[in-house]
Amino acid sequence: MSTHTLSTDRVPFGSRELADAGRLLTAWAAASGRGRVTVTLNLLSGLVFLTNAEIGMTYALNGAGTLEEWVACATCHTDGFSSEVGLNDFGDCALCQTLTP
């Protein structure tokens, strides 16, 4: 995810994005989330997520409405929910793991 496609400004957030941010923050609080998080909007996809820069973690609401870590493959940069991307200990996605000898 390129950083110039991301915004933490209030202006680009429409009513849907603000509602998503509210659900994210509610889920974060319910999960006893600690540390400072920033609500961020991907201007291309419209995805709203929380980032915790201190620990380098990103979270979004999955299809079940549950807070889930958002990850990116270290090799091909494919991003998505951790349950979908399936990173190994080296940060490679399931596809890249099949391509590594």
Q: In the complex with Zn ion, which residue's Cβ is closer, 50 or 71? A: 71
75 binds Zn ion (CB under 5 A): yes
Of 37, 67, 73, 87, the residue at the interface with Zn ion (CB under 5 A) is 73
Rounded to a whole number of angstroms, the minimum distance from the CB of residue 69 to Zn ion is: 16
76 binds Zn ion (CB under 5 A): yes
Report the SS3 class of residue 6: strand
Q: Computed from CA positions of residues 42, 43, 45, 46, in that sequence, does the dihedral angle turn out positive or negative?
A: positive
* Amino acid symbol at 33: G
85 binds Zn ion (CB under 5 A): no
